[in-house]
Amino acid sequence: MSEKIVKLNKKFFFSFLIIFVCFLLDRCTKVLVINKFIYNDFKELYINSYLNLTLLWNKGIAFGLFQSEAIFYHLISIIIFTIILFIIYLAYKSRTYFELIGLSLVIGGAIGNLIDRIYYNAVPDFIDFHIGNFHWFTFNVSDICITIGLVQLIFYDICKNIKFKNNV
């Protein structure tokens, strides 16, 4: 019994550490950019020929989709909170550290964006990646964490299914 508790505590600590680091990196970068842009009246900050910092306030969901009325915005926030709780449950039930890392990255990023939705009534996006005149959607560190976590989970699932099929 105590071995199971120790394993659960290690798993919880590992997951919490990833979630905390994602959240902390997200918060720090957002506060830095918001303060830099608002207090210095910046519109855009050139980094290099592929990257600018441009502060945009996203009142929709991923990539600024579905920006609409306040009631819809709050409903989406409640749905996001529910999904975060479900992903926390999945992390608790995860069997491998690879899966746990992916779920923890998604949780950390999702919590970062949810806090912004509550505090600012919008999510600050500021990383503007572009090639020539083609600009990708503007995003933030939380979005990076969520994307890496989802790609990792998809990769894990594909590899798991390939291994299973080879054993049959």
Is 26 a known active-site residue? Answer: no
pTM of the model: 0.85
> 26, 116, 125, 128: which is the annotated catalytic residue?
125
> 26, 116, 128, 143: which is the annotated catalytic residue?
143
What is the per-residue DSSP string for 121-133? SSEEEEEEEEETT
Is 128 a known active-site residue? Answer: no
Q: Render pLDDT for 65-113 as a digit per residue (tens, 0 to 9).
A: 555 666 777 888 899 999 999 999 999 999 899 999 999 999 999 999 9
Q: Centre a 10 Å sphere on the Cβ of residue 112 and count the other Cβ atoms it contains.
A: 26
- What average pLDDT does the segment 5-33 reach? 90
Q: Render pLDDT for 47-69 as a digit per residue (tens, 0 to 9).
A: 899 999 999 998 866 555 555 66
